Structure 1
Amino acid sequence: TKEQVLATGFNRNHPITQEGGVIQEEYQSYYVVDRTNTLGKGILGLTLECAKCHDHKYDQLSQRDYYQIYSFFNNVDEKGLRMDAVQAANQKYFADAPYITITDEETNGVLSFINKAEGEDVKVMVMNDSMPRTTYIFDRGEYDSPGEEVTPNAPEIILPYSENLPKNRLGLAQWVTDENNPLTARVFVNRIWGMLFGRGLVETSEDFGVQGSLPTHPQLLDWLAKDFMEHDWDIKYLLKKIMLSATYQQSSIATEESKKADPDNKWLSRAPRFRMSGEIIRDYVLATSGLLNREIGGPSVKPYQPPGLWEETNAGGNRGVLTTYTADEGDKLYRRSLYTLWKRTLPPPSMSIFDAPNRDICEVRRQKTNTPLQALALQNDVQMLEAARVLSENTITDTKDAEQWVTTVFQRILVRNPKEEEKKVLEEYYTDALDKFLNDRENAEKLLAQGEYKRLDTDPAKTAALMLTAQVIYNLDETITKE
């Protein structure tokens, strides 16, 4: 179906160059390498890229194995050089061949999740096998040093490739999801476990090879993988299964006994506690403030970003939609971070500060750092300030008792009642801020001017004071921590 063909566009998400003077064959091979490596790391949990130039030094994967998988992705009718910028600017998502065109009729039917302007056809890059190529083992991985010819196949050490399977990407997909494949289901349930617990049952979620970590609970991993496959690879079922477990629903408070017996929570003696990702932090702030646009599907959007960043990194040549950043307006500003436009040469700064990768290559496990820049972003980012303002305005409008304003904001953000000491400190902070703004209404107005969302008719001094109080709560460790 066209929906299935559209899904193959995943394999076209790698970087594509439009730099003049590149060698077409060289970059075309880079694209195939990216697909091969992504299959290995993202789906099989293997460092296949280590076998590109020579046999794998640790895992039982040969260079032949690498290029046999490579050959599955080497029949695409594509060029190593992206179309020129003038052509690109005239086409939606910059679609290089091969691509499919999504029409109004289709978005009214099976592809209704695609949101596009009426009467505007959208081109989306996809895969095809319209240009069969002969694949060779490249000497030391160099594209211009072809050696022995190979044909599509999969590593026998993982699972022999059945003679009944076609030697194409469909056959590869069937091999990947074969119930006897020891990796795919385990790698996936381990990644979901890692998302929920902060660390997978196999800590090296990107590497199930000899150099990777051993599973802490191998029988649990086996059972989850088997159960996942028996329920038709249903991700919602898997999430529900884990999140309703007694293990997940434990308290995250570490007792002295558990700290001594299980300091790293390796044996799951308590619930997880870890800082959320940049995307989830932003979405959480939008949700608690009431700003979050809950629409599902549709094109990418451009939220707030410091001005001039794209222009600073532009080489000075082509001018187009990816050289000048203009933030969206209205509800588009408050869509989930999933839909944020991502420019690889300059990822959204608010995401990068919280350790989001630039997406040049497949990265399964993110690093987690704690830096002063993160606190500064939470304190000064326009989206954060706007969220605090909107939450404060809504609280003042909906809660007539002014003595409950601080408590209401606290409850909305942290989903619990404040302790007496917390309430006292925050109310004193609000009172001090209110006194200052009553004597300096000009600064109150400047603070309330943050963001594009419409202002409500509330007292500027009171709103600004409550806004700053909300900012303090948004900056708490508890707010950005999953526990």
Structure 2
Amino acid sequence: MQCFGRGLVETQENFGSQGDPPSHPELLDDLAYRLMDEGWSQKRLMRSIVTSATFRRSSSVSPSVRQIDPDNRLLARGPTYRLSGEAIRDAALAASGLLVERVGGPSVKPWQPAGLWSEAGVSGGDYVPDTGAAAHRRSLYTYRKRTAPPPSLVTLDAGSREVCQPRRLATNTPLQPLVFLNDQGFFECARALAERAGRESDGSVDLAIELAFLAVTSRPADPYEHRTLRELFDEQSARFDADRAAATAVAGRDDPQAAAMTIVCSTLLASDAAITVR
């Protein structure tokens, strides 16, 4: 399910007679035997799945295949699905170079709007976000309170953990792009990615755009994508040239080009290419 966006059994919450049968029962048996034969190593099993020809197929679909298998239950094409809220945040941290990869330790409290716990009637004090490296750890370590879950993750369809949720339904709402563009955590990622691309490009705007795009999507930008981002950079650079206070607010220093690149990186992190597996 984590690789293809849906499981071989559609109803992960019900493997009984009232649940859906597996779409590929022989494949399910083979994967189960392989898992046992390889010492229950989930890492080896995952590697065999993501390196398979089925996973690496193109997600493009012909009209005839779409008519036969519209939901891709037969795996006629590669997977296409939106990442989970936690994976989107972790991917943004990784692309920006902010991700702290330390394993283990206590839960951490990334940024969230001030006063949220008080508004939700949570007792025991208000939410105090961590700073520095602790704020940039994987979402696996994010502190969760069931009565006031992290709002950005909930907006991206993460469960509140009030009830068991074996599978999630992805939604598309107007709130989600607002999270990408305005959440302080994502904005920090955009600023860090802009600084990283600027350092590695030796002052070349075009190269900085290429490096940022590659870091976010793991592929080079095509000519149309590059031209669109360059036009956005030029537009924002002119705007910040005329409003140096706004440039300082965005980039953290009086540098219109750095501010413009931050906007470009923010746009990249919010793009379909950044949050969708295909």
Global fold match (TM > 0.5): yes
Corresponding residue number in structure 1 for 2:183: 381
How far apart are 1:255 and its partner, in Å?
2.5
Partner of residue 48 from structure 2, selected from 241, 265, 277: 241
Q: Structure 1 residue 209 and structure 2 residue 4: aligned? A: no
The residue matched to 1:360 in structure 2 has which SS?
coil
Amino acid at match of 2:48: K
Corresponding residue number in structure 1 for 2:216: 413
Amino acid at match of 1:395: A
CA distance in 2, matches of 1:333, 1:224: 37
Corresponding residue number in structure 2 for 1:371: 173
CA distance in 1, matches of 2:214, 2:33: 41
CA distance in 1, matches of 2:222, 2:40: 44
* Gap runs ≥5 in structure 1: 1-193, 450-457
Corresponding residue number in structure 2 for 1:434: 237
Corresponding residue number in structure 1 for 2:262: 467
How far apart are 1:214 and its partner, in Å?
1.1
How far apart are 1:398 and its partner, in Å?
2.3
Corresponding residue number in structure 2 for 1:334: 136
CA distance in 1, matches of 2:231, 2:238: 11
Partner of residue 153 from structure 2, selected from 351, 374, 377: 351
Partner of residue 219 from structure 1, selected from 19, 26, 42: 26
What's the % identity of the aligned pairs? Answer: 42
How far apart are 1:459 and its partner, in Å?
5.7
Query: Whose relative contact order is higher, 1 or 2, with alpha carbons under 8 Å and at least 6 apart?
Result: 2
Corresponding residue number in structure 1 for 2:207: 404
Higher helix proportion (structure 1 or 2):
2
How far apart are 1:302 and its partner, in Å?
0.4
- State whether residues 146 and 161 of structure 2, in contact with CA within 8 Å, keep that contact through their aligned partners in structure 1: yes
Structure 1's 208 and 427: CA in aligned 2 closer, same or farther, altered over 3 A?
Answer: same
Amino acid at match of 1:369: T
How far apart are 1:241 and its partner, in Å?
2.1
Q: Structure 1 residue 313 and structure 2 residue 110: aligned? A: no
Amino acid at match of 1:393: E
Equivalent residue pairs, number = 277
Corresponding residue number in structure 1 for 2:99: 292
Q: Which aligned pairs between 1:16-415 and structure 2 lie closer than 5 A? A: 194-314=1-121, 318=123, 320=124, 323-400=125-202, 401-415=204-218
How far apart are 1:424 and its partner, in Å?
1.4
Amino acid at match of 1:234: S
How far apart are 1:260 and its partner, in Å?
2.3
Amino acid at match of 2:178: L
Amino acid at match of 2:172: N
Amino acid at match of 2:237: L
Corresponding residue number in structure 2 for 1:480: 275
How far apart are 1:368 and its partner, in Å?
1.2
How far apart are 1:375 and its partner, in Å?
1.0
Amino acid at match of 1:231: E
